[in-house]
Amino acid sequence: MNENPNKPSRIGYAPVNGLKIYFEVHGLPRSDIPPLVLLHGGGDTIETSFGRILPSLARDRQVIAFEQRGFGHTADDDRPFGFEDSADDTAALLEYLQIKRADLFGFSNGGSIALHVAIRHPTLVRRLVVCTAIMKRAWVSSQFWEAMKTAEPNTMPPELRDAYLKVAPHADNLESFFFKCRNRMRDFKDVPDESLRAIKAPTLVLSSDGDVMLPEGSVALFRLLPHAQLAILPGVQHMQITSKTNVLIPMISEFLTAL
């Protein structure tokens, strides 16, 4: 058991696809289950997506968290943000860390990225936990997509703005960062049903009835995935979901350790 799951046992920067990706390793490795990789949401850092839940996840297993290109501690380049690119970056990071197979827990855009990893790099994935994993435009209200067309930096949630400014290597890139996050959603393309049906990894689909993703979308994803379970939390807003550790930790732990 890790005596201090709040403190990373390792921090580093991995050379990944022309970038240096910031990562943290928490907890101790186990021989019976692979590491759990955390994929944060759009506009987020490790802390804003997983700060509340990460210590509990790392109490009895190894957890690897990293910040995607342009997010948090990881510097950006001139490429746009893309779900497929983030999936490939995830695979390259695991290769750098010499991890041949992992469980993935993705929140929001990170949930979508986790599913793209399973589509593009299926042998890397043992089990998936995906929270608000939008894969089709119909799974979100039309008002959301309209807002993405014209959103400006002043609409960025203050907690995400503050987190970026606190750790970004080039804090003056905030406006560029915002528009790249916005444009990834503005230009969102549906993932074909057959790609989702091809995912063989057992998957826990999480959302809430107060989420950005409509409950109908969560049910649709659950129906498309051949080996899925579904949990919709009541009365919880999007950014609050991963703070509900008393509900999520038993559920996620049981799912990830099931035979």
Domain boundaries, the chain: 10-257
pLDDT at 258: 85
Q: What is the fold, at CATH topology level, of the domain defined by 10-257?
A: Rossmann fold (3.40.50)
Report the first-to-last Cα separation within the chain, whole angstroms. Answer: 21
pLDDT at 5: 56
- What is the band of 1 on the pLDDT scale with cuts at 50, 70, 90? very low
- What is the band of 2 on the pLDDT scale with cuts at 50, 70, 90? very low
Residue 61: how many other CB atoms lie within 10 Å: 23
Cα–Cα distances (Å) from 219 to 127, 186, 209, 222, in that order, read 19, 23, 12, 5
pLDDT in tens, 26-81: 999 999 999 999 999 999 999 999 999 999 999 999 999 999 999 999 999 999 99
Residues ≥6 apart with Cβ < 8 Å to 51: none
pLDDT in tens, 71-115: 999 999 999 999 999 999 999 999 999 999 999 999 999 999 999
Average pLDDT, the chain: 95
Distance CA 129, CA 250 (A): 13
The tokens for 170 are: 């080039």
The tokens for 202 are: 């057992």
Distance CA 3, CA 1 (A): 6
Share of the chain above pLDDT 70, in %: 97
Residue 142: how many other CB atoms lie within 10 Å: 9
